[in-house]
């Protein structure tokens, strides 16, 4: 097996009385992009939230770089080197773009070169630097949310559906931004329903259904196999586009 | 990224939204003008207005901690009034020790005595807040009913402790020499202490605003009120932040207690829980968790209570409740609804 930065082994998550994740095993190779696919309600967001400690795994283990993190509190998990872009983007709408970025830079002042790179990656960050984040458009908020996650180098970034609700042109530019990020050797676990984006970025892919992993393998293999897509997701993902 | 896709476009608030957002700011001046119209006599109105502002700002000091505590961790603290009472008694004790200073004609000694009294009561109520949060509030995070019961229990214990330490009777608090009496403007008499209270209240409001807007800690508090989970996911321990806010809020309640005691010139163990009615009205009017809303709500309640005490004393208290109902009919979440994630 290749070198894995993140491993989930036999993870179960309960939310109140509901048993949501049922024996989830998932590997994220170091330096690559692992994609997590699955229909609505499959448990993708719950998986990311469980990794972040926002839901607690009731059984199983989560190893980050070989170290068990499933019993750590969320802030400690974050500080161990994991950044999180949640499904709702988690932008602080009352704060300015600059203030959002400032809070994301937990280790202190900005690294000027990194900030310049981010502003190049996502021009609206520069344009709206002093604007209240609540006034940004959905796509701009998504960019801010990703920008926050990368303002300081993190070993792993969890991104939950960055294409959600975005216009096709914005999805394309988000994809190229993430591809550039991938080239910096950042490891990414990407939840994505947009198959074009998923297949453009992913190295490996896991497919979830009903809280279980029903397929794990190479992204290219899945992308090439319409029959398998059909079988896994009930309809050819190509039809989605 | 492709150039066309992200050509930035500013999606700012529309003019209508701006008006909606600014409308609450006009409420206090409108209330003051309505008061002038109803009262008629400008000098009576001036006296009442200064009294209303002083009262409002003192309530703001007491309410600010409560609203942020609620906003940040959804904690309902019915025991907040305990800090007001304890603060007032500690302040009284310090002022009594410094009787030589308070009775001196030297303004500087008078003010020094008041500031020492404030410092001492903030230190003690802040420490008490620490204990209160760890022992009473922490075990009931996330359970509103338990919070209400348990913090009310804490309030009762604190009131009994005040009886043990200072005795069961109301105590008269004398204002320092230079804060007694009134300034005379034409026919209007304005109590010096009220002007002093307005000054302290405004300075505190500006300081609080500065902390919330310009410091990292303040940004974290504002971010945490909106989305505590995300603050944690960035790597900050929100419970530690909350503890700090709880202590600061308790210390501010203690400060408010000293100011309120000097305003009423009488203190009792129950003064805190009595004023809490108005404090809750203000917090609800403002929008749970909103400092700006709390500030405006406090001014409205202070002004209205004083105007009504003059115009129709029998319904003065009811009028503040009516104000709350009116505001909630206009804006069900309060003047400045706090945006909560999800
Ligand atoms: N707070 C909650 N309380 C109860 N059930 C929940 C909660 N959050 C999620 N669930 C349930 O857990 C299951 C998985 O939800 P999850 O959000 O992880 O799905 P998802 O794969 O991210 O779906 P989507 O593509 O719609 O975002 C769903 O059945 C959902 O109803
Ligand atoms: Mg989801």
Q: Ligand 1 pocket, A219 CB below 6 A?
A: no
CB atoms within 10 A of CB A125: 26
CB atoms within 10 A of CB B319: 18
Distance from CA of A90 to the nearest CA of B (A): 6
- Tell me the CA–centroid distance for residue A40 and ligand 2, in Å: 7
Q: What value does the mean pLDDT take over residues A109-129?
A: 95
> Which residues from chain B sit within 8 angstroms of residue A85, using beta carbons?
none
Closest to A106 (Cβ–Cβ): which among B2, B5, B235? B235
Q: Pick the residue with more confidence: A233 or B266? A: B266
In order of A23, A60, B98, B108, B112, the CA distances from A214 in angstroms are 11, 18, 77, 78, 73
As a whole number of angstroms, the distance between CA A60 and CA A25 comes to: 9
Q: Which of residues 24-63 of A touch B (CB under 8 A)?
A: 52, 54
This prediction's pTM: 0.89
Any bridge partners for residue A164, and if so which?
A: none
Q: Ligand 1 pocket, A153 CB below 6 A?
A: no
As a whole number of angstroms, the distance between CA B179 and CA B20 comes to: 40
Compute the mean pLDDT over every residue in chain A, rounded to the nearest whole number.
92
As a whole number of angstroms, the distance between CA B224 and CA A39 comes to: 32
What is the band of A2 on the pLDDT scale with cuts at 50, 70, 90? Answer: low
Helix axis angle for B80-97 and B271-286, nearest 10°, is 130
> What pLDDT does B80 receive?
95
Read off the pLDDT of residues A80-91 as tens digits, 9 standing for 90 and up. 999 999 999 999
Segment B278-282 long-range contacts (CB within 8 Å, at least 24 positions apart): B278/B59, B278/B305, B278/B320, B279/B59, B279/B62, B279/B63, B279/B66, B279/B80, B279/B81, B280/B66, B281/B320, B281/B321, B281/B323, B281/B324, B282/B59, B282/B60, B282/B63
What is the band of A56 on the pLDDT scale with cuts at 50, 70, 90? Answer: very high
Q: In this complex, how many residue pairs, one in chain A and one in chain B, have their CB atoms less than 8 Å apart?
A: 100
Read off the pLDDT of residues A177-216 as tens digits, 9 standing for 90 and up. 999 999 988 999 999 988 889 999 999 999 999 999 999 9
> Which residues from chain A sit within 8 angstroms of residue B233, using beta carbons?
52, 54, 74, 78, 84, 86, 90
> What pLDDT does A241 receive?
42
Read off the pLDDT of residues A146-160 as tens digits, 9 standing for 90 and up. 999 999 999 999 999
Taking CB atoms and an 8 Å limit, are B8 and A124 in contact across chains?
Answer: yes
> What pLDDT does B18 receive?
75
> What pLDDT does A234 receive?
64
> What pLDDT does A148 receive?
97
Which of A36-40, A226-230, B124-128 reaches the highest mean pLDDT? B124-128
pLDDT under 50: residue ranges of chain B: 1-8
> What pLDDT does A238 receive?
46
As a whole number of angstroms, the distance between CA A12 and CA A47 comes to: 9
> What pLDDT does B231 receive?
97
Ion ligand 2: residues, Cβ under 5 Å: A 45, 87
What is the band of A3 on the pLDDT scale with cuts at 50, 70, 90? Answer: confident
* Per-residue DSSP letter, B143: -
In order of A95, B8, B215, B231, B290, the CA distances from A98 in angstroms are 8, 16, 13, 16, 22
> What pLDDT does B2 receive?
42
Q: Please name the residue whose Cα sits nearest to atom 24 of ligand 1.
A: A40
In order of A38, A46, A58, A59, the CA distances from A19 in angstroms are 17, 11, 10, 11
Which of A25-39, A85-99, A220-234, B47-61 bottoms out in mean pLDDT, i.e. has the lowest? A220-234
ipTM comes to 0.93
Pair B244, B221: CB distance under 8 Å: no
* Per-residue DSSP letter, B339: P
Pair B334, B284: CB distance under 8 Å: yes
Q: Ligand 1 pocket, A46 CB below 6 A?
A: yes
Percent of chain A residues topping a pLDDT of 90 = 80
């Amino acid at each position: 097996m290749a070198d894995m930065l993140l491993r989930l082994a036999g993870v179960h998550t309960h939310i109140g009385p509901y048993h949501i994740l049922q024996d989830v095993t998932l590997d994220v190779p170091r330096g690559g992009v692992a994609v997590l696919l699955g229909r609505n309600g499959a448990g993708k967001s719950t998986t990311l939230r469980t990794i972040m400690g926002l839901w607690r795994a009731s059984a199983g283990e989560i190893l980050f770089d070989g170290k068990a993190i499933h019993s750590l509190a969320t802030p400690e998990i974050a500080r161990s080197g994991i950044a999180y872009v949640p499904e709702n983007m988690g932008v602080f709408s009352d704060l300015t773009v600059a203030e959002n970025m400032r809070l994301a830079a937990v280790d202190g002042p900005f690294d000027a070169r990194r900030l310049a790179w981010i502003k190049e990656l996502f021009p609206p960050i520069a344009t709206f630097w002093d604007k209240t984040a609540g006034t940004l458009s959905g796509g701009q908020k998504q960019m801010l949310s990703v920008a926050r996650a990368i303002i300081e180098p993190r070993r792993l970034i969890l991104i939950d559906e960055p294409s959600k609700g975005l216009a096709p042109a914005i999805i394309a530019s988000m994809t190229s931004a993430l591809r550039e990020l991938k080239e910096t050797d950042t490891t990414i676990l990407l939840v994505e329903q947009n198959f074009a984006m998923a297949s453009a970025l992913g190295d490996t892919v896991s497919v979830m259904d009903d809280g279980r992993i029903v397929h794990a393998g190479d992204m290219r293999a899945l992308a090439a196999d319409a029959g398998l897509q059909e079988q896994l997701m009930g309809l050819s993902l190509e039809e989605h586009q | 990224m492709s150039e066309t896709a992200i050509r930035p476009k500013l999606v700012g608030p529309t003019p209508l939204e701006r008006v909606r957002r600014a409308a609450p700011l006009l409420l206090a001046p409108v209330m003051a003008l309505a008061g002038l119209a109803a009262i008629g006599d400008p000098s009576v109105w001036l006296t009442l207005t200064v009294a209303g502002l002083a009262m409002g700002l003192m309530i703001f000091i007491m309410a600010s901690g409560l609203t942020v505590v609620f906003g940040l961790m959804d904690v309902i603290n019915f025991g907040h009034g305990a800090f007001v009472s304890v603060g007032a008694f500690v302040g009284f004790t310090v002022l009594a020790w410094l009787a030589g200073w308070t009775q001196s004609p030297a303004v500087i000694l008078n003010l020094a005595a008041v500031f020492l009294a404030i410092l001492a009561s903030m230190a003690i109520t802040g420490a008490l807040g620490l204990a209160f949060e760890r022992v009473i509030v922490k075990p009931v995070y996330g359970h509103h009913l338990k919070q209400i019961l348990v913090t009310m229990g804490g309030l009762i214990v604190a009131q009994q402790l005040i009886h043990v330490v200072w005795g069961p009777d109301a105590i008269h608090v004398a204002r320092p020499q230079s804060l007694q009496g009134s300034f005379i403007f034409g026919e209007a008499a304005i109590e010096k202490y009220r002007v002093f209270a307005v000054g302290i209240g405004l300075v505190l409001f500006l300081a609080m605003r500065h902390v919330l807007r310009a410091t990292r800690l303040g940004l974290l508090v504002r971010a945490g009120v909106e989305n505590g989970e995300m603050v944690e996911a960035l790597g900050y321990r929100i419970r530690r932040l909350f503890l700090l806010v709880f202590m600061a809020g308790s210390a501010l309640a203690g400060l408010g207690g000293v100011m309120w005691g000097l305003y009423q010139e009488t203190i009792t163990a129950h003064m805190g829980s009595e004023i809490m009615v108005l404090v809750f009205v203000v917090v609800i009017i403002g929008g749970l968790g909103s400092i700006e809303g709390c500030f405006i709500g406090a001014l409205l309640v202070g002004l209205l209570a004083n105007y009504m005490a003059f115009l129709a004393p029998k319904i003065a208290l009811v009028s503040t409740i009516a104000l709350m109902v009116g505001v909630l009919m206009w804006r069900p979440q309060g003047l400045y609804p706090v945006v909560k994630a999800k």
